[in-house]
């Protein structure tokens, strides 16, 4: 009996993952003002499309001016040979190839730890928790959120969480969203690349790859639905920072696990 129950749960999970991986083949950007978000977010979330929320507050602790006053974080490691101070003082000297390669300059574990050091998880809980709850509705209690710091840029990645929320804090970014129909034209090594950097040497069908570029600045927040491929490219080599919030369910966590096993 126990074995049957276990098998039933496993089957339900795999069916849930299969349905979870389905998403719309076209992209449509939806927009709302932060002040009006409580009235409209629940309906917009049902569209399963990227949602841009304008005039959002931003956390002050990750601004360059504030970081320069936190000497205790100067030696915080963000890479193999770089510290937070290195990037703060001389952004162009830290991982200079990120503008073409798109590999994050700070690994996920350190990005989460830095967010905690800057009390960004607390800020999210106090400032935009209600906004997230508006999108999730009555299922809010079954979801968890992970807050991390993004420094500089991030090449293409797949948004697996229920919502991937990107909030620029310092600097201007270009967010690129790849059309679902174009994913089969991407090269095998598309991850951590910027769409604009792809050439015919990467994929013979590079001309068929369609994507949307969206310029986002501090005060503009964007919520991405699951499974769309996105990249975040800084406007230049000056200091850029953003907050990344991943809202997960049990199914999305399980999907992440399966994807990580496939990559390995």
Higher pLDDT residue, 262 or 143?
143
The string of pLDDT tens digits covering residues 148-185 is 999 998 999 999 999 999 999 999 999 999 998 899 99
Which among 214, 211, 224 is positioned nearest to 161, based on CA atoms? 224
Q: What pLDDT was estimated at residue 17?
A: 45
Torsion angles phi and psi, residue 119, rounded to 5: 60, 30
pLDDT above 90 for 22:
no
Question: Does residue 37 contact residue 56 with C-beta atoms inside 8 Å?
Answer: no
Q: Does the structure show a pLDDT above 50 at 42?
A: yes
Per-residue model confidence as pLDDT tens digits over 180-216: 889 999 999 899 999 998 999 999 999 999 999 999 9
Q: What is the mean pLDDT of the chain?
A: 84
CB 107 within 8 A of CB 192: no
Task: Please give the sequence-ordered ranges of beta strands (E in DSSP) within 42-91, or none if there are none.
Answer: 51-54
Cβ burial 172-184 (10 Å sphere, 16+ → b, else e): bbbbbbbbbebee
Q: Please state which CATH class domain 2-263 belongs to.
A: mainly beta
Element (H, E) at 155: strand 154-158
What was the pLDDT predicted at 99?
Answer: 47
20 pLDDT more than 50: no
Domain boundaries, the chain: 2-263
Higher-pLDDT residue of 134, 150: 150
Pick the range with the lowest mean pLDDT from 1-5, 77-81, 189-193.
1-5
pLDDT value at position 28? 86
Predicted confidence (pLDDT) at residue 12 exceeds the cutoff of 80: no
Percent of the chain with pLDDT over 70: 84
What pTM does this model have? 0.85
- Long-range contacts for 49-53 (Cβ within 8 Å, ≥24 apart)? 49/24, 49/225, 50/177, 50/214, 50/222, 50/223, 50/224, 50/225, 50/228, 51/135, 51/222, 51/223, 52/214, 52/216, 52/220, 52/221, 52/222, 53/131, 53/220, 53/221, 53/222, 53/223
């Amino acid at each position: 009996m126990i074995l049957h129950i276990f098998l039933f749960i496993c089957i339900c999970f795999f069916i849930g993952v299969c349905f979870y991986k389905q998403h719309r083949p076209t992209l449509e950007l939806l927009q709302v003002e932060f002040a009006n978000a409580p009235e409209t977010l629940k309906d917009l979330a049902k569209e399963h499309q990227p949602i841009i929320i304008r005039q959002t507050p931003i956390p002050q602790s990750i601004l360059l001016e504030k970081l320069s006053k936190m000497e205790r974080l100067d030696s915080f490691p963000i890479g193999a040979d770089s510290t937070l101070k290195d990037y703060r003082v001389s952004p162009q000297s830290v991982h200079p190839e990120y503008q073409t390669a798109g590999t994050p300059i700070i690994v996920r574990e350190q990005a989460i730890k830095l967010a905690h050091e800057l009390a960004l998880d607390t800020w999210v809980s106090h400032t935009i928790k209600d906004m997230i709850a508006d999108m999730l509705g009555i299922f809010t209690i079954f979801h968890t959120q992970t807050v991390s710091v993004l420094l500089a840029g991030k090449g293409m990645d797949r948004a697996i969480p229920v919502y991937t929320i990107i909030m620029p804090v310092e600097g201007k970014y270009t967010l690129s969203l790849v059309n679902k129909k174009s994913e089969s034209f991407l090269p095998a090594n598309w991850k951590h690349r910027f769409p604009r950097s792809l050439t015919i040497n990467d994929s013979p069908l590079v001309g068929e790859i369609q994507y949307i570029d969206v310029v986002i600045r501090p005060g503009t927040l964007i919520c991405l639905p699951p499974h769309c491929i996105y990249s975040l490219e800084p406007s230049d080599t000056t200091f850029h920072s953003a907050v990344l919030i991943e809202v997960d369910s049990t199914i999305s966590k399980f999907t992440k696990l399966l994807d990580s096993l496939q990559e390995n």
